Amino acid sequence: MTVIDDMEASTESIAAGNGVLGQRMLRKEDPALLTGEAIFTNDMKVPGALHLAILRSPYAHAKILSVDVSAALEIPGVLHAYSGADLADQWAAPMPCAWPVTDDMKNPAHYPLAVSKAAYVGDGVACVLATSDAVARDAIEAIDVEYDPLPAVIDLEAALSDEVVIHDELGTNKSYTWPLVIEETEGDCQKAMDESAFVVKERYVQQRLLPMAMEPRAVVAMPQPFGGDMTLYSSTQVPHILKVMTALTLGIPEQQMRVVCPAVGGGFGSKLNVYAEELLCVQLARTLKVPVRWNEERGENTQATIHGRAQIQDIELAADENGKITGLRVRLIGDMGAYLQLVTPGVPLLGAFLYGGVYEIPKAFDFSCTSVFTTMTPTDAYRGAGRPEATYAIEHAMDALARKMGVDPLELRRRNFIQPEQFPYEAYTGLVYDSGDHDKAARVAEDILGYADMRAKQAAQNTPDAKKRLGIGVSTYFEMCGLAPSRVLASLNYSAGGWESATVRVLPTNKIQVVTGTAPHGQGHETAWSMIAADKFGVDPADVDVLHSDTAIAPLGLDTYGSRSLPVGGVAIAMACDKVIDKARKIAAHQMEANEDDLEFAGGMFRVKG
Amino acid sequence: MDVTVTINGQEHTHDVEPRTLLVHYIREHVGLTGTNIGCDTSSCGACSIHFNGEAVKSCTLLAVQADGQQVRTIEGMADADGTLHPMQQAFMENHGLQCGYCTPGMVMAATSLLEENANPTEQEVRIGLEGNLCRCTGYHNIVKSVLAAANA
């Protein structure tokens, strides 16, 4: 049970704003979503729009020998059909990867449609524009593609052997090796492995998975042919990043690109990207001077939208005779898929800082990640992006160590917890943790479960001939999120920087307007952000309007992913509110002929104290 | 071919291709886009509507099968004055939605469930909604919403 469960929802709007944070409020977003009034991208009615459909490779790896679109063009309602080669001169730059994790990272040129080789099932090879979605989808079946199938590369270690090289121009399937180097500790990890009482060595395989937002992706590109402006509507988490990247990839001046996200039906990281279909719609709309739209079918979503996870984790944990950890070594092989999408290479690295979990890990830490191309859908950020994988590995390794030592897994963890008096604690990675009391949290969990009793029950029940055995799992979870501008992000070459913006205005009718650079897709930012401003100004949250997800209305921002919106975007709003209130205080003091220090601000009003 | 369907009390007649699915008819011909498409494979239930009073996935029917029939969509649930249907109100009060994409289908399936069983147990609600997928909520608050609506 969470605290929220105990709170009654208020059906009335909360009147006095100061103190509204922490109260339970009904969501502003809900009425439109509950009545069908909300407009998702594919709900948009766009007169004259042409529908894009994409023919996708049925092969994981194949040379494209020829593409014949002539039969598709004969179908009534089909206006245009293109192969990848037909559009090869349309791109000012390859599709973007914004996270060059090393200077020598290999990144194959990736275009919205493949030209000479299909590198995964779902790789686009040709497309059609027609007067309806149904006609466009019929027509792609009339396109004749001659393939020369090549061996698929799906095993990560086989990929590293370079027996079959996917991108000829790279000469290797390896994209990069990224070590996390802890200064002046060279050799310490090996020493711990050699000299410690206990060492466990485990291999875990993080399977690929499909992010599967309920709303498949959808795109509408609306050109203004006579001014050159372009509006891209997309089911995306990242309108601002998409705006910049579309401008760069297509050679459109940034000021002429506008990106709007209507209602977005979930993302889970899969809509944190710049996709081929977005670029195709914009470029075709731009050249043909008509609106172009595309909506993803679920089957396409499984092939053409990024996948998550996909790593092999080799982890070695050394401990002294008491189970105290003395060394930790992690070797990852990251599966990039066929190409690097927006932040593909960075995902495994985000975990590098979390392999130590909540434990006191000495600086005898040795981490390295080698990432490799395969003939599968590109991977990218998915829910936690690299960090849940790290937690999985350290927690399983702790269990393995507990088994080896014959120690209770919770007891082993407890012996390694960073202690409350050690905070602020500088971890093995150089990160400083401000606070924590892991033992207290563990005791709460123990009490809820009745851990000792449950262990006793388990011992009684799990006799050798027991038909039904009782299992008890123990895990801690430690997270690093809300990435903001920091030396850690800079050290990882994360190009976007991690900042966020907020603009707060008090309108002439005493309503508050909040403009945010975050881009919600189910999180309820309109409600939460209005509560932040209402709390600051002491007004009704209903009187706060939150504007977002349109780069013409909210021009600055870095969008919503990685649990960053509240800790970065929400804080920006709070800080902007403070600035407005400070400014208002000066004006109020002047008008009231009072000293600023003699004014109090509550309920949206300045009053002279006393 | 011509089909005439009564949707939310209003009669609509359109000339459709025989292969047109009911969900596409509702969205594209009638223009009611509250009914969402999530899977194209009758798996997710986002396109659930009421067909002659019973919840169905509108991607499993052809528009021609709806000729002369009664359809109710999410747009027909709230009163004209804006008062939400008790099920919609319950979803709102119990935080039964996040991104809202599955929500119209959930509301339609849940109201149909209560028509059949006015006082379901939690288990009956979970089984009754097994044809509707949600990716955000973990279902907990959806089930709570339906139980609340049953008690409203």
CB pairs under 8 A between A and B: 114
Do the Cβ atoms of B98 and A214 come within 8 Å? Answer: no
Q: What is the residue whose two structure tokens read 């055995």?
A: A469
What pLDDT does A186 receive? Answer: 82
What pLDDT does A394 receive? Answer: 97
Nearest to A36 among B44, B75, B98 (CB): B75
- The alpha carbon of residue A217 is apart from the nearest alpha carbon of chain B, in Å, by 10
- The alpha carbon of residue B117 is apart from the nearest alpha carbon of chain A, in Å, by 22
Question: Is a pLDDT exceeding 50 seen at residue A15?
Answer: no
Q: Judging by beta carbons within 10 Å of its beta carbon (0-12, 13-18, 19+), is residue A541 exposed, middle or buried? A: buried
Please give the share of chain B, as a percent, with pLDDT higher than 90: 97
What does the pLDDT look like over A158-177, one tens digit per residue? 999 999 999 999 999 999 99
pLDDT band at A497 (very low <50, low <70, confident <90, very high): confident
Do the Cβ atoms of A214 and B102 come within 8 Å? Answer: yes
What pLDDT does A3 receive? Answer: 38
* Closest chain B residue to the Cα of A213, Cα to Cα: B135
> Residue A148: which of A69, A84, A58, A64 has the closest Cα?
A64
What pLDDT does B30 receive? Answer: 97
For range A180-191, the mean pLDDT: 85
Q: A430 in contact with B at a CB cutoff of 8 Å? A: no
Do the Cβ atoms of A36 and B35 come within 8 Å? Answer: yes
**A115 alpha carbon, distance to own chain's centre:** 29
Q: What is the residue whose two structure tokens read 């399977």?
A: A207
Nearest to A266 among B37, B43, B136 (CB): B136
Please give the share of chain A, as a percent, with pLDDT higher than 90: 88
Question: Is a pLDDT exceeding 90 seen at residue A559?
Answer: yes
Do the Cβ atoms of A26 and B75 come within 8 Å? Answer: no
Do the Cβ atoms of B135 and A38 come within 8 Å? Answer: no
Nearest to B38 among A9, A298, A299 (CB): A298
pLDDT-wise least confident of A121-125, A307-311, A381-385, A479-483: A479-483
What pLDDT does A17 receive? Answer: 67
The answer, yes or no, to whether the previous bond of A424 is cis (omega within 30 of 0) is yes
**Cβ atoms of residues A572 and A534 within 8 Å:** no
Nearest to B74 among A31, A36, A40 (CB): A36
pLDDT band at A228 (very low <50, low <70, confident <90, very high): confident
Tell which phi-psi region holds residue A228, choosing left (phi > 0), alpha (psi between -120 and 50) or beta. left
Do the Cβ atoms of A35 and B17 come within 8 Å? Answer: no
pLDDT band at A80 (very low <50, low <70, confident <90, very high): very high
- The alpha carbon of residue A43 is apart from the nearest alpha carbon of chain B, in Å, by 6
Mean pLDDT (10-residue bins), chain B, 152 residues: 97 97 97 96 96 97 98 97 96 97 98 97 97 96 98 88
What secondary structure does DSSP assign to A80-101, as a single string?
EEEETTTTGGG-SSPPP-----
Question: Is a pLDDT exceeding 70 seen at residue A136?
Answer: yes
Interatomic CA distance for residues A389 and A440, integer angstroms: 25
Q: A38 in contact with B at a CB cutoff of 8 Å? A: yes
- Provide the 10 A C-beta neighbour count for residue A458: 13
pLDDT band at A184 (very low <50, low <70, confident <90, very high): confident
For range A231-247, the mean pLDDT: 97
For range A16-35, the mean pLDDT: 89
- The alpha carbon of residue A563 is apart from the nearest alpha carbon of chain B, in Å, by 15
For range A402-417, the mean pLDDT: 97
Strand order in the sheet with A544-547: A502-506, A512-516, A544-547
Q: B127 in contact with A at a CB cutoff of 8 Å? A: no
Pairing assessment for the beta strands A365-373 and A425-426 based on DSSP bridges: unpaired
What pLDDT does A482 receive? Answer: 85
What pLDDT does A9 receive? Answer: 47
| Residues of chain B positioned with their CB less than 8 A from the CB of A216 | 37-38
What does the pLDDT look like over A322-353, one tens digit per residue? 999 999 999 999 999 999 999 999 999 989 99
pLDDT band at A4 (very low <50, low <70, confident <90, very high): very low
pLDDT band at A2 (very low <50, low <70, confident <90, very high): very low
ipTM: 0.98
What pLDDT does A495 receive? Answer: 67
Question: Is a pLDDT exceeding 80 seen at residue A36?
Answer: yes
Mean pLDDT of chain A: 94
Do the Cβ atoms of A522 and B73 come within 8 Å? Answer: no
For range A62-81, the mean pLDDT: 98
For range A292-302, the mean pLDDT: 97
